[in-house]
Every structure is written in C-alpha cells, then in structure tokens.
Chain A
Amino acid sequence: MSESAKPHHPHPQGKGEKNHGSDFSYVGIDAILEQMRRKAMKQGFELNIMVVGQSGLGKSTLMNTLFKSKVSRKSVQPDPEERIPKTIEIKSISHDIEEKGVRMKLTVIDTPGFGDQINNENCWQPIMKFINDQYEAYLQEEININRKKRIPDSRVHCCIYFIPPTGHCLRPLDVEFMRRLSKVVNIVPVIAKADTLTLEERDFFKQTIREELRANGIDVYPQKEFDEDAEDRMINDKIREMIPFAVVGSDQEYQVNGKRILGRKTKWGTIEVENIAHCEFAYLRDLLIRTHMQNIKDITGSIHYEMYRVRRLNESNADPSMLVTRK
C-alpha cells in the first residue's frame, strides 16, 4: 500500500523505488507497476491445471503437495472405494486459495480412467474434446456483442503428464498422447513416483525420454519456438535440460533433523520431497508457480488459444452457420 512521505507530494513506494523527493524530472511512469499490483491483488489470479496419467501414479498427492493443501479430487470427494472407471471421466474441482493477500482461483482437472483400460485406443479423445470445449466457451464469450468485463478463463493452462517410472523408455500410449496434445496445450511431463529409481537410472531414463520426445517431434513446455529473447532462452534451456522432472509427492509431515518436512518414510530412509538431492519436486514447483506461471498463461492465451480461434473462424468462414452462440 502506498505511503505518502511528504504531505503534498504523495508518491508510491514500490519495490526498490527511490524516494526522489523534489525531483522535477521524475514523472511517475514507474508507478504503473504498483497500480498493476494493486489491481492484480484485487482481481486475483486464475490457474487451471490438468493432471493426466494412469491411476496410481500419485497425481492427487502431487497436487496436494504443490499447493500445500487438500486440493485434489480425492480429498474433496471422499470415495470409499477406489474404482477404476470404465470410461475416462473429466472432473474439475475449483478452490480459492490465498497467500500474502494474493488470491488465486485454482482449478484442478482430473482425468480418472486414462490409460487404465485394456484397450486404450482414443483415450485422448475425451481430453482433447474437453480442452477444445474450454477454448470454444472463451471464444463464444469473446465474440459476443455484449461482452462481460472479465471473461471467466476456464482454458486449460497447463497439463501435467505423469510418466510411469519404468526406467526404460516411453510407452506407445505416452508418445501418442503427448504428440497430439502438445499442439493444443502446454504439456509438462513428469516422472511419477521417482523414488523407484536410483540416480543413475533416473538420468538414463530422462535422457531416453528426451531423445524420444525429440525423435517424435513433441514440443513440451517450455517450447523452444516461443523463447522471446536470449535471456529467456538461457533460462529455458536450463529447464529443458532437466525435463522431465522426477517428482515424489507427499502430504504427510515427518520430523527430520528437528524440522518438520513433507516426505515419505520407509524402513531404509526418509525421502524428503523438497530436498533437491532427493527429487526434483522443488524445481517443478518453482517452474509452475514461482517463476513461469504467468508465462504459461500467456502462451495458452496468445498462442494455443489463437490457433484454435484462427481455425474456428476459418471454418466458420466456409460455413457461417457453424459459429452459432451456444448458450
């Protein structure tokens, strides 16, 4: 909040701003940062994350760990029996969380039943349909004559794909899914349950996965072509060296060296989730939340959504009746 230093010359105190005092050359353009911050705090942020993977890979646990609260589907709908659904369902749960005055509307979209059947042909269809439906809804709002002031953004910003820790290579199902979906949404692949792999196996597995992704032309987040400048490229290159992140999730706390940390306790040791020597959860969290969240949303909005929009409007040019507002 702004504080006035002098009675008749109130200037805002932003991050790292000097008090210019009676400086005639100071205009105050940089005060825009503070205004934006205030507006953002009032409005709040929206983030939609989709988690995809076979059942039993720790998706819900990871979501809980990421946001340090019970945001997953399982925590919200207590299911007495874990049943694998016969067809893929798409369940989205929304939460309002707040930290240091910043509000966020987090939506976790879960896909139970993915890859669990015996015949998994076209298991990506319902997911692609869902993503396109969200784009469609946004598009409809946009082309409305009377638009709302703030269009509710339900587009999927990021899709976390869980790779089972086999240690050998990607399965055909993984390759198929990621190939199709990397074109419509940002995919962040992670190696699930990474406490199965020793460090050498982990490195080997990651290398194999990176090679396969390159060989199949799958562009995962951060995409090379969307690097804006050299600085971005440097940062993103470092991230690309580490993809896919080997993560371990846990929502149970244990006492280690006098500190309470999240982890998994086994008979031969305790795995600390936030220890980068143990697993790469911290990197994933930083990427998703602390450093690249806005970038993810931008890419979704300006690139994926725009591609969808161009395609839809071209289709409607050919057939005007297609673009009918569905309410």
Chain B
Amino acid sequence: MIERPETAVPSIAQRNLEGYVGFANLPNQVYRKSVKRGFEFTLMVVGESGLGKSTLINSLFLTDLYSKDYPGPSQRIKKTVQVEQSKVLVKEGGVQLTLTIVDTPGFGDAVDNSNCWQPVINYIDSKCEDFLNAESRVNRRLMPDNRVHCCLYFIAPSGHGLKPLDIEFMKRLHDKVNVIPLIAKADTLTPEECQLFKKQIMKEIQEHKIKIYEFPDTEDDEDSKLIRKIKERMPLAVVGSNVVIEVNGRKVRGRQYPWGVAEVENGEHCDFTVLRNMLIRTHMQDLKDVTNNVHYENYRSKKLAAVTCNGVDTSKTKGQLTKSPLAQMEEERREHVMKMKKMETEMEQVFEMKVKEKKQKLKDSEAELERRHEQMKRNLEAQYKELEEKRRVFEEEKANWEAQQRILEQQKLDASKTMEKNKKKGKIF
C-alpha cells in the first residue's frame, strides 16, 4: 500500500501550559506603553453652516473648542470652502489624547456648490500622502499620524430624504475616509418623523451604494447586541448642547424651549449618547484601524500603481517611491556624504575668507602705519628745512649786520682818521 505523504502544512497544535509563564501580562505592557505615548485622533466635520457642528463638537468633548472669544467657523461667512484644523490636547485619567478637529466652513453654502467637496478630498489625500512619505523614509522614528480617521457628515433634518449634494459628497468620500452620517438638529423631528427619515436615508444610501462606516461584529455576545442596536439607529439623530439646565431637580445638558427641555444625554430624546459612546468609548481604535488598513491602503496602492504603471514618474515625490530600500539606503548614504562634503568645503571657504580678511586688515594697518611714518618723516624734514632756512636767514642777517658793523667801524676809523688828519693839518682856525 502506498503511503500517502503527509500534508506539508503543519497544523498549529494547541498546547496547555504547565505553569504560569507570564505573557498574559502583554496587554498591560502594551497598555502602559500606549498610555505613555498618548493617542491621536483626527475627526472631520462636514455639513452646511448652521447645522450645529461646532455645538456638537463642544458637547462631545465637553470643552469649549469654539467659544464666544474664538467663534467657530460658522459664525464667519466664507466665500469659498476652506479646511481648517484645530488641535486640542485632552487629558483624562492619565491618558492623553491629541485631538484634531478639521472643520470645513463654507461647505454647501454658496449658490453654486459644484465641487465644494474638492478641498475636502484634497485635504484628506494630502494627509495620506504625508503619511506615505513619512512611512517610506529611512529614518522614521517620529511618525505623526495626521490622517483623517473619521468624517461626521451632517444631514439637514428636512424629513424627506437626502439632497443631491449629500449623495454626491458621500459617494466621493466613502472610499477615502470613514463616513458616519448624522441627522443634525434632531429636535426638529417628532419620533415618527425621525423613524421615517432614517429609513428613507438608509434606503437612499443603499440605492446609491454608499459605503458608510460599518460596525464590526465581535464575538462577544453582549457587544454584538449593543452593535446591533446601534446599527438599527443609523443614521444617528443628534442634538448638541453645552448648556446645563435643571429639570426636576436634576442637572442635565439640554435645550430649553417653552414647551419643554430637550435633553442631550437622554437616549429617548436623541442618539447623542450612542454617538459619543461609539466614537470615543468603544470604536475609536477601530476607526483608526479601518483608516489604516483599508482607506490608507487603498490610497497607497492607487498611488503606487499609478506610478509604476506609467513608465514616466508622474508623481510629485520623485525618486522616493520607485527604488527598493537598499538602493534608497545607498542614495541616502551618498546624499549624506555629499552633504558632509559640502559642509566641509563650506567651512573651508569660510575659514579662507576669514584668513583673507585678517590678512587684509593687517596689511591695511601696516600701510597705514607706513603712511603715517612717511608723513611724520616729511613733517620732520619740512621742519628741518624750515629751521635751516631760518638759520640761513639768520646767518645772512648776521653777516649783513657784521658787514654793516665793519663798514661802520671802517667809517668810524676813517672819520677818526680824517679828524686826526684835520687836527693835524691844523685846527688852525
């Protein structure tokens, strides 16, 4: 009988441990490390102005990100769609979260809203590109994750269905980012209207094949029950408020109307608590994972495929994506060496220059000294000449004077001689 060879794939046998090894502590280590490192989360809010986006952000994170002193983008009218980002560091229970809120003021507000989604798409793509470049570098110790993890899209509570703008936007963004549609200002709708509206929206979303963020099924029974409840309530109808009002002796956050108080955290009034729990308490990590594993990978494969498909490198980042890591290392080394050389030559140049300068200075001072020396010599000579001149003049005068004296003496002598002669001759008279 021919023995059939055993399949080559070894099955992973389950073994029971005989003692306590200790790797059950791994989650704690991971936990401690991530707590030390801190978390990052980027949330984007998109919707027409006046739908309560800023208020909802304030309510979600219990801070006044947009307050009276720093009014949110919706208080200022914009002519074109802009993308603004604000970073907040939130600390709670030793865990710190760097929260980035990306707002899109001006979206859907103009008369002509064609391509108002373009700035949003550009922003998301640029963040993915930054991450791609950071990932492809050789030295990637600090890799900040600025990719948009979640996009909350605010639907106006018309009660009928999605607007063409809503459909267009979601269709274009559903494979770039996790889109979570929300019904804004849900205190406009009665419970029946809300149900109808939600059903209509889900129907339209399915009709247009829009892929909104799907909650993952877990194995845990309790969790999956919760998740099923969330799925039934999609899209979530939210009301935002940061104002504390007293109702029946309790302090609640809500909106005060003449006919009652709409409580934000009451599950029967709106789905705010569901949104908050989902976004922050249970699914934040999953949102980041989906962004990383699905949306970012889509972007990356599209980008790299585009580059390798065409022979010509059409992408903006030349060279960084087309080489293998080794070649890239070589290139980086060469770059480094070149940089070093350049620095060396630069320094030499600087040195030379300094030396020249000093030399020049010395020469200058030497010349200066010489000049002064010359001048002093000339001065001296001039003085000497002057003196000589004076002496000569003086000598001349002296000679003159002496000559005159002599003449005078001679005259005197002559005069005396003549007088004598005269005397001799006869002073007869």
**Contacts from A to B (Cβ < 8 Å):** 54-58, 82, 84, 116-121, 164-169, 171-173, 176, 193, 195-196, 198-199, 264-272, 277-278
User: Roughly how many angstroms separate A211 CA and B193 CA in the complex, as a whole number?
Assistant: 34
**A55–B112 contact, CB under 8 A?**
no
Say whether, besides A54-B158, A56-B158, A166-B49, A277 and B258 are in contact (CB < 8 Å): yes
6 A-B pairs with least C-beta separation: A56-B158, A166-B50, A269-B260, A269-B259, A268-B260, A119-B112
- The answer, yes or no, to whether B69 is at the interface (CB within 8 Å) is no
Q: List 22 A-B contacts (CB under 8 A).
A: A54-B158, A55-B163, A56-B156, A84-B161, A84-B164, A116-B164, A118-B114, A119-B114, A121-B111, A166-B50, A168-B74, A169-B77, A195-B188, A196-B188, A199-B257, A266-B190, A266-B262, A268-B259, A268-B261, A268-B262, A269-B260, A278-B258
**A199–B109 contact, CB under 8 A?**
no
Residue of B nearest to A86 (CB): B164
Residue of A nearest to B167 (CB): A118
Q: Which of A84, A168, A272 contacts B75 (CB under 8 A)?
A: A168
Residues from chain A with a CB closer than 8 A to the CB of B269 are 266-268
**A120–B190 contact, CB under 8 A?**
no
**A198–B164 contact, CB under 8 A?**
no
User: Roughly how many angstroms separate A58 CA and B269 CA in the complex, as a whole number?
Assistant: 21
Minimum distance in angstroms from B74 CB to a CB of chain A = 6
Query: Which one of B255, B259, B263 has the highest number of Cβ atoms from chain A below 10 Å of its Cβ?
Result: B259
Within 8 A of A (CB), among B121-168: 156-161, 163-165, 168
Say whether, besides A84-B163, A118-B165, A272-B259, A264 and B190 are in contact (CB < 8 Å): yes
Within 8 A of A (CB), among B46-77: 48-51, 74-75, 77
Minimum distance in angstroms from B142 CB to a CB of chain A = 40
Minimum distance in angstroms from B34 CB to a CB of chain A = 40
User: Roughly how many angstroms separate A173 CA and B269 CA in the complex, as a whole number?
Assistant: 32
**B188–A82 contact, CB under 8 A?**
no
Residue of B nearest to A270 (CB): B259
The binding surface of chain B is classed by DSSP as: loop
Within 8 A of A (CB), among B96-120: 109-114
Minimum distance in angstroms from A203 CB to a CB of chain B = 13
**A198–B256 contact, CB under 8 A?**
yes
Minimum distance in angstroms from B159 CB to a CB of chain A = 5
Other A-B pairs beyond A118-B165, A168-B75, 16, CB < 8 Å: A55-B163, A56-B157, A57-B158, A116-B164, A118-B114, A120-B113, A166-B49, A166-B51, A172-B110, A195-B187, A199-B258, A266-B269, A268-B260, A270-B260, A271-B259, A277-B258
Residues from chain A with a CB closer than 8 A to the CB of B163 are 55, 84, 116
Residues from chain A with a CB closer than 8 A to the CB of B168 are 118
- The answer, yes or no, to whether B268 is at the interface (CB within 8 Å) is yes
The binding surface of chain A is classed by DSSP as: loop
Say whether, besides A118-B168, A196-B187, A173 and B161 are in contact (CB < 8 Å): no
**A268–B263 contact, CB under 8 A?**
yes
Query: Which one of B113, B165, B258, B268 has the highest number of Cβ atoms from chain A below 10 Å of its Cβ?
Result: B258
Minimum distance in angstroms from A178 CB to a CB of chain B = 13
Residues from chain B with a CB closer than 8 A to the CB of A270 are 259-260
**B75–A269 contact, CB under 8 A?**
no
Query: Which one of B112, B158, B161, B191 has the highest number of Cβ atoms from chain A below 10 Å of its Cβ?
Result: B158
Say whether, besides A82-B160, A118-B114, A164 and B50 are in contact (CB < 8 Å): yes
User: Roughly how many angstroms separate A171 CA and B188 CA in the complex, as a whole number?
Assistant: 20
Residues from chain A with a CB closer than 8 A to the CB of B111 are 119-121, 172-173, 176
Minimum distance in angstroms from B120 CB to a CB of chain A = 14
User: Roughly how many angstroms separate A169 CA and B48 CA in the complex, as a whole number?
Assistant: 12
Residues from chain B with a CB closer than 8 A to the CB of A116 are 163-164
Residue of B nearest to A166 (CB): B50
Contact with A along B178-198 (1 / 0, CB 8 A): 000000010110110000000
Q: Which of B50, B161, B200, B256 contacts A167 (CB under 8 A)?
A: B50
Residues from chain B with a CB closer than 8 A to the CB of A173 are 111
Contact with A along B253-292 (1 / 0, CB 8 A): 0011111111100101100000000000000000000000
Say whether, besides A55-B158, A272-B259, A120 and B51 are in contact (CB < 8 Å): no
**A171–B109 contact, CB under 8 A?**
yes
Say whether, besides A56-B156, A173-B111, A118 and B50 are in contact (CB < 8 Å): no
Query: Which one of A117, A270, A272 has the highest number of Cβ atoms from chain B below 10 Å of its Cβ?
Result: A117
Residue of A nearest to B48 (CB): A166
User: Roughly how many angstroms separate A196 CA and B241 CA in the complex, as a whole number?
Assistant: 12
**B159–A56 contact, CB under 8 A?**
yes
Residue of B nearest to A264 (CB): B190
**B113–A195 contact, CB under 8 A?**
no
Query: Which one of B75, B187, B268 has the highest number of Cβ atoms from chain A below 10 Å of its Cβ?
Result: B187
